[in-house]
Amino acid sequence: MECAAKGRGTRCIGPATRRCGRCGAVAYCSVSHQLSHWRDHKQECERLELQMRSAEVLHDFPFTFSKEATLQVCEKQVTRCSFLMTRRLHLVGMWKYECSCGTSVASSDHLRIIDDWNLPSTLCPCCEPITPISICLRSWKDYYEWRCLPLHSPVALLLHWTLTVYHAIQLATITRSVDGSSNKIHIHYLGPDKELLQLAGFAELHALFPGIQVHMELVGPAVPQFRDGERIDLRSYVHCVEVDCSCKSSSDNASLLVSHGRNSAVTMRLHKGFYHDRYKEIVKESFPHLIIASNAGIAAYSSWLPTITIKEMDVPAIFSDYCEEAAHLAACCISSVTNRPLRLPQVQLNPFRQPMAVEDSALFLPCYSNCFVFGM
């Protein structure tokens, strides 16, 4: 962790080992840096103290591996690499992007969509659900029970993107406003990064919204130039490792391919660039029911400013971020810039956040991918 006063005056004299005695969320390299930073930190100290007190709630998951993936990762007793290695998932398929050893989006040149769980059928949702979805899922436990998955299955580590989209749609009550004649939900998904290497997981939206076609426009600077405009058709679920499983017979071994406009339950199109530069051309073909931005970092990146001030579109937007403080700062930024109250009255904990802590976060606050959600 870096000194909270780094870059503000004198140079740091060593590692940041001196934590704030009140909130415990930030640390400093020296007493002098802590004193000089107090003018800024006192505005946030009480808020961070409250967030630290409720941090235990963030670690609350129903999985058998919860302690290993949360507290032990935060305390550096376990790493993401070691967690995956013990399950023979390290640097394999979609899992290779879940630790720092994996390929980054920028360096990846794969055109093929990776569509393997690298797990047996008993541990992954590779086929149609045994029973159609009949309730609103409110937790990972609900999802695992519906999909008949044991709580030692690690698929939630990859499905948090998909279930966060599901949760955002529920929060925005989009399904109630879908045109019955088209039976289609249009989503504009902003700022995708790691998701671009795990797109196959979004095929699960077919099971979550039976009878509804979900179309997603993914827009962001991380989209490789050679994939700009690419259309993707997810025609079946991600496969298990079993050769004789029925998930293999549902296709000709090429179930998730770049397509040219075939109808499907889940379709996508990729766009390179910032949303405020591309949205006018995108809405000509696909006007959104909902805008979603995962791990947005709105308060950290000035490039969000022209996007959140687009006035032509009165569309609900749901954002997520890694920790409550980042979400709070983003919500304040949105309210200040737009002069409008948030659609969601307050920042909310996402029940479908990734159940593995982020390593080396900027604060002592526990951080999880898609941890908190808020909307405008």
> Would the CA dihedral through 74, 301, 228, 291 be positive or negative?
positive
- Residue 248 confidence (pLDDT): 79
- Residue 333 confidence (pLDDT): 86
Distance CA 53, CA 48 (A): 9
pLDDT of 125 above 80: yes
342 vs 131: which has the higher pLDDT: 131
Q: What are phi and psi of 303, to 5 degrees?
A: -65, -15
pLDDT of 145 above 90: yes
pLDDT of 105 above 80: no
- Pairing relationship of beta strands 266-272 and 256-258 according to DSSP bridges: unpaired
pLDDT in tens, 355-373: 999 987 777 888 999 999 9
Q: What is the mean pLDDT of residues 195-219?
A: 94
Query: To which H or E segment does residue 215 belong?
Result: strand 213-220
C-alpha gyration radius of the chain:
21
- Residue 221 confidence (pLDDT): 95
pLDDT in tens, 237-271: 999 999 999 887 754 434 443 443 444 579 999 99
Cα angle at 321 between 174 and 24, to 5 degrees?
A: 145
The answer to whether 351 and 171 are in contact (CB under 8 A) is: no
Q: What is the DSSP string of 6-68?
A: TTSSSPP-S---EE-TTT-S-EESSHHHHHHHHHHHTTTHHHHHHHHHTHHHHT---STTHHH
- Residue 178 confidence (pLDDT): 55
This prediction has a pTM of: 0.90
Q: What is the mean pLDDT of residues 192-198?
A: 92
Q: What are phi and psi of 311, to 5 degrees?
A: -100, -15
Distance CA 190, CA 184 (A): 19
The top-level CATH class assigned to 114-243+262-375 is alpha beta
pLDDT of 231 above 70: yes
pLDDT of 160 above 50: yes
Mean pLDDT for all residues in the chain: 87
Distance CA 168, CA 194 (A): 19
What is the 8-class DSSP label of residue 356? S
Smallest Cα–Cα separation from 38: which of 55, 17, 22, 15? 22
- Where along the chain do its domains lie? 1-56, 114-243+262-375
251 vs 283: which has the higher pLDDT: 283
The answer to whether 269 and 217 are in contact (CB under 8 A) is: yes
- Residue 108 confidence (pLDDT): 60
Residue 104 banded pLDDT, cuts 50, 70, 90: low
pLDDT of 313 above 80: no
- Residue 262 confidence (pLDDT): 44
